[in-house]
Amino acid sequence: MALQQLNTDFERIFKAIFKPPGADQGGSKDPFRKFVKKFSHEFKIDKATIKKELGEIQTSKRLQGKRELIVTSPELIRLKDKVAEKIFKTFASIVNVNEKNYTLTVTSTDNEIILLYELNKDAVQDVYSKLAKLKKQVLDEVFATGEAKQFLDILQKAGASVKSPGALFDIGHRESVKELAGSAFVKAAESLDDDRYKRAGDEGGDIEYASKVKNEIARKIKQDLSKFNLNLNAVDKFVVFSGDGSLVRKPNSTFVVKTDLESKFKNQVQNQTSGEDARDIGKVLGDLRRYIQDELTKEISLASAQGFTQREGSDSFVEALARGLVMDKSLLPLYRKGIAKNRTKYKGKGKNRNNTSKTQTAEWENKKTTHKIRGLGPISLNTSPQPAEKGVNFNESAFTIRAFINSRLTQEVEKNMGRPTLENRTGRFAQSAQVVNANIKNGQLHMDYTYQKNPYETFEVGGRYSASYDPRPLIERSIREIAAEKLQMKFTLRRV
């Protein structure tokens, strides 16, 4: 059922962006943060910022009852400035690295250093972890001896929550990862492919129903996150959003994650007391997730109560095709009048495919024609001319055949693509191929098909293109291969 397909797609988005239920509050379990780590990173070290943040370190609230500045005396301020100079010079002494999968380029001025980790080609490396390791090595070296060690001892004795030199500073993101996650959430929801839900089935005869639900959810996501002024274009630089909700790393992405040296105090205290910070957007994202789960649960429950979900996991395509023929509405009056007899398992609503029943023969009779259909075998139709008032109209059953072929046509066309015929690059051509009309006349099935004319029709006319690029033989071959599996009758094809 389409709604359950939509629910599956949103669960896929949740797994790519949100922590799993019950995960700790740290970033180690955040899937989107892990995703962002595997891109090029720019790390900025600013001398003035280092001095400022070292001077703003406070005592631990847990130890003191309230937070107080530690670096207040002239002597400590002088010592703090000397330690900041040493940190800056040690970072400036880092040399360039040129490895197979990444490069590290160091550029510096008197007051600023940039460490740029760039991924080579489309390599997938966790450069954030490399950056974190390098940061720890530098700080461990700086605070191992001399005045820096003395300064660290003073901070620890005064009650600062600094357990090791490497933990004195964090790596801060200059663009909030939560804001990037919010942008990805908006884009992923908007990118869900409506055709997936049309192929999955309808809700009570409304083939657009799941798409309407999806569009309403996507609208609410964008609306609730609009106050954060998200940069939606940013995520397009490093994520490809597929139609099923998957977030795929963009090949050869040039996206650079910008970070800086950030004190523990700034990360853990200042960010907690600011206005609309990452905590606020995190709360909105969490609320949206719960809203979507509740909304889809409600819609699926409603559809189940109305009997629309009975098709999920029910008849196979072959059985559905046989059912369409046996339970054709033109036959129902014949059953009631006793002119024809329905001796099949196909009666009323469908049974779940997990239920077992013997394969039976469908047989009905009138004065002119006898038709036989086996539920799981090849389907053969005999449609000899007969009086209209007593005859059986099989054209509506032909449309059931059309639906059966269309349900598999995209996959079959994609399978048959490749040199010397058209190659499958975007998937648009295969998705556009469909049978648009079907009817049975004089014992023969005729089907009209079409595809996206712009730009693929140009390959029909030849010219500078090879005749093997003509889309028509490719589609017709795919239709015939699908039909040959289950249909035993002649048919013709025409491109319209």
> Mind giving me the DSSP string for 120-169?
-TT----HHHHHHHHHHHHHHHHTTSHHHHHHHHHHHHHT----SGGGSE
CA distance 412 to 477: 9
Q: Nearest CA to 243 among 304, 183, 190?
A: 190
Q: What pTM was computed for the model?
A: 0.55
Domain spans of the chain?
Answer: 2-299, 317-393, 397-495
CA distance 438 to 444: 11
3-state helix, strand, coil in the chain (%, to 5): 50, 15, 35
For the domain made up of 397-495, give the CATH fold. Answer: GMP Synthetase; Chain A, domain 3 (3.30.300)
H helix intervals, 143-274: 146-158, 177-191, 194-200, 209-225, 232-236, 264-265, 271-273
Distances (CA, A) of 424 to 243, 276, 418, 427, 480: 16, 46, 7, 6, 20
Distances (CA, A) of 404 to 288, 372, 376, 475: 37, 20, 14, 15
Across 288-430, the runs of DSSP E, i.e. the strands, are 361-365, 370-374
Q: Nearest CA to 11 among 33, 31, 40?
A: 31
Q: Nearest CA to 238 among 258, 256, 225, 260?
A: 256
Q: Which distant-in-sequence residues (6+ apart) come within 8 Å of 84 by Cβ?
A: 47, 50, 51, 54
- The tens-digit pLDDT sequence of the chain (496 residues) is 688 889 999 999 999 998 887 665 555 678 998 898 888 999 999 999 999 889 888 888 776 678 888 899 999 999 999 999 999 999 999 999 999 889 999 999 999 999 999 988 777 888 888 999 999 999 999 999 999 999 999 988 888 877 778 777 888 887 778 889 999 999 999 999 888 888 777 766 678 888 999 999 999 999 999 888 888 888 888 888 888 888 888 877 788 988 888 765 544 444 443 434 556 888 888 899 999 998 888 888 877 766 554 444 334 444 554 555 555 555 566 666 665 556 555 565 433 334 333 333 333 333 333 333 333 234 444 444 433 333 434 444 666 677 778 778 888 888 888 888 888 878 888 888 888 888 877 667 788 888 988 888 878 866 567 778 888 889 988 888 887 766 656 678 888 8
CA distance 323 to 331: 12
